[in-house]
Amino acid sequence: MSVPNLTKRANALGTDKGDEVGDTHGYTGFYSFLFEEFRHEPFTMVEIGLQHGNGSPDLLVGRKVDDIPSIKMWLEFFPKAENRRLRHC
């Protein structure tokens, strides 16, 4: 199985962790390098601070996982991970 290009997925999904969307961070190149060896290991992942775009933080309440770009990216990259998320204000 080939390694997904995390930067392309981040950009396509609309997360700022790539190099094209919003206030880009460009973290995905480093994340791919750092996490590749763990991709298929089961673990619980916690993401703190969810992107909410230009809207109000209140828009996150009741938001589904398929509407949060970075979580979609991580679940694709880590197929055996369980994802927990926290929003900060």
pLDDT for the residue 25: 75
Residues 6+ positions from 2 with CB-CB distance below 8 Å: none
pLDDT one-digit tens code per residue, 41-88:
999 988 776 655 444 555 555 555 556 788 888 888 998 988 776 655
Asked if 34 and 3 count as a contact pair (C-beta separation under 8 A), the reply is no
pTM reported for the whole predicted model = 0.70
pLDDT: which is higher, 46 or 4: 46
Phi, psi of 86 (to 5 degrees): -130, 140
The alpha carbon of 4 is separated from its chain's Cα centroid by a whole number of angstroms, namely 13
Instruction: Read off the pLDDT band of 40 (50, 70, 90).
Output: very high
